[in-house]
């Protein structure tokens, strides 16, 4: 297929883009390089340096489907400057949908997020758990989920919103390289890499077994396989006019301290920690139930935390 991959110069888009190329698809990457890197664009993919708001210049009827990763995704920034999130993530996506409709491209896989659920009372979180986001980042992603539901019914779009929990790991030369880096695993790995003396632990008084926040970590390679399955589903006759939401997580939660311990084991280095106040907006526990995508599309994660940390470490050492 000929596929448009928005955000394909970023972390997850470059990994999944390379998996799509490996699966034999023709990939065109559209990325504004807001947070991405041109050298991360998958080999043999065509690169268009443009924003998704300019999608009308790129999308034509030769495309079979779009995988939409491009977004701003820093929670703290979204609280301080919410307008950036509404313009980029919501208005930008509406422009992309306009361009797809005009070109009659009717298949879409979208990067949604666990942040759409806010601070849920239940664990694990299913797709039926009420989505009550607590920051503009999560709100912007939920707004797009709703836009896709309407677009599917009104205009025959086949769309899947994949709600990622915490993504980690790397695939070959594609991995996580953000500046500033806010994610836990790369930040912990910076200690054995000699790039920082200690890692901050944000919040030690959560109602969890060791007092630190619990998250569901998923290997980016497993995440990518889910995209290929979702893409296949959008091509089935029944999918036209339907929008589905699937959680993507492992179903297992690890605390911040357990992640630090995994980094110590994998790297063989001591990792000093500094206890800090809770980070604003962080829920105590986010663990996914991914039973729905397992039942519908046969997806199951194959890598655990150890492999995630190992692959992220190998990537960081490159
Ligand atoms: N990393 C995670 O754990 C996680 C969890 C849940 C959801 N997500 C979602 O997955 C997607 C990818 O995340 P990531 O971690 O790879 O982030 P990233 O910042 O590495 O990649 C995003 C890419 O999109 C590009 N981009 C941003 N706005 C754009 C625009 N208007 N037009 C064109 N390109 C634009 C950036 O330059 C970057 O290359 C995002 O939609 C994010 O919200 C990520
Ligand atoms: O240096 C650090 C970095 C993070 N944390 C903590 O580690 C946990 C995980 O943080 P992080 O890796 O930043 O991920 P989240 O804040 O859980 O957010 C990620 O996972 C969400 C889904 O669960 C997605 O919606 C977001 O886009 C994605 O950034 C949180 O409790 C943080 O407070 C630390 O203690 N020290």
Domain residues for the domain of 277 are 168-216+250-317
CATH number at residue 48: 3.40.50.720
- 95 and 191 in a single domain? The answer is no
- 103 and 205 in a single domain? The answer is no
The reported pLDDT for the residue numbered 148 is 98
The answer, yes or no, to whether any atom of ligand 2 lies below 6 A from the CB of 181, is no
Bridge partner residues of 108 (DSSP): 66, 159
Structure tokens at 54: 């300019």
Rounded Cα distance, 298 and 208, in Å: 32
The reported pLDDT for the residue numbered 194 is 97
- The residues, any chain, with a CB within 8 Å of residue 219's CB and separated by 6 or more, are 167, 168, 169, 301, 302, 303, 307, 308, 311
Ligand 1 site-directed mutation target among 4, 8, 11, most atoms within 8 Å of CB: 11
pLDDT tens column, 10-40: 999 999 999 999 999 999 999 999 999 999 9
Q: Nearest ligand to the C-alpha of residue 189?
A: 2
How remote is the CA of residue 200 from the centroid of ligand 1, in Å? 24
- 212 and 127 in a single domain? The answer is no
Backbone angles phi, psi at 47, to 5 degrees: -110, 125
- 289 and 209 in a single domain? The answer is yes
Is the omega angle on the peptide bond into residue 124 within 30 degrees of 0, that is, cis? yes
- 176 and 194 in a single domain? The answer is yes
The reported pLDDT for the residue numbered 237 is 86
Rounded Cα distance, 24 and 143, in Å: 33
- 183 and 260 in a single domain? The answer is yes
The whole model's pTM is what?
0.98
The reported pLDDT for the residue numbered 280 is 85
Total number of domains in the chain: 2
Measured N-to-C along each axis, helices 220-234 and 11-22 cross at an angle, to the nearest 10 degrees, of 60
pLDDT tens column, 143-174: 999 999 999 999 999 999 999 999 999 999 99
Averaged pLDDT of the chain: 97
CATH number at residue 182: 3.90.25.10
pLDDT tens column, 196-242: 999 999 999 999 999 999 999 999 999 999 999 999 999 998 889 99
The answer, yes or no, to whether any atom of ligand 2 lies below 6 A from the CB of 199, is yes
């Amino acid at each position: 297929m000929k596929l448009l991959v928005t955000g394909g110069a970023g972390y997850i888009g470059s990994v999944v883009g390379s998996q799509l190329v490996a699966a034999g698809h023709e990939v065109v990457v559209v990325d504004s390089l807001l947070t991405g890197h041109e050298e991360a664009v998958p080999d043999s993919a065509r690169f268009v340096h443009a924003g998704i708001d300019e999608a009308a210049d790129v999308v034509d009827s030769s495309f079979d489907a779009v995988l939409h990763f491009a977004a701003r995704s820093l929670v703290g920034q979204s609280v301080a400057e919410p307008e950036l999130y509404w313009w980029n993530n919501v208005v930008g996506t509406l422009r992309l949908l306009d361009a797809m409709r005009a070109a009659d491209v009717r298949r879409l896989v979208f990067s949604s997020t666990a942040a759409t659920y806010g601070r849920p009372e239940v664990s694990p979180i299913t797709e039926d758990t009420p989505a009550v986001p607590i920051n503009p980042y999560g709100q912007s992603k939920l707004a797009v989920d709703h836009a896709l539901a309407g677009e599917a019914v009104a205009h025959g779009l086949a769309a899947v919103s994949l709600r990622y929990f915490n993504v980690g790991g790397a695939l070959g030369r594609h991995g996580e390289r953000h500046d500033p880096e806010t994610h836990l695993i790369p930040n912990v790995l910076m200690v054995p890499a000699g790039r920082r003396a200690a890692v901050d632990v944000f919040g030690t008084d959560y109602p969890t077994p060791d007092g630190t926040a619990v998250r569901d970590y998923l290997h980016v390679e497993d995440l990518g396989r889910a995209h290929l399955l979702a893409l296949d589903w959008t091509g089935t006759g029944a999918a036209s006019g339907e929008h589905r939401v699937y959680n993507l997580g492992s179903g297992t939660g690890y605390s911040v301290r357990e992640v630090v311990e995994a980094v110590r084991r994998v790297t063989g280095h001591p990792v000093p920690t500094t206890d800090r106040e809770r980070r604003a907006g962080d829920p105590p526990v986010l663990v996914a139930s991914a039973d729905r995508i397992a039942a519908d599309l046969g997806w199951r994660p194959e890598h655990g935390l150890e492999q995630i940390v190992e692959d992220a470490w190998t990537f960081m050492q490159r």
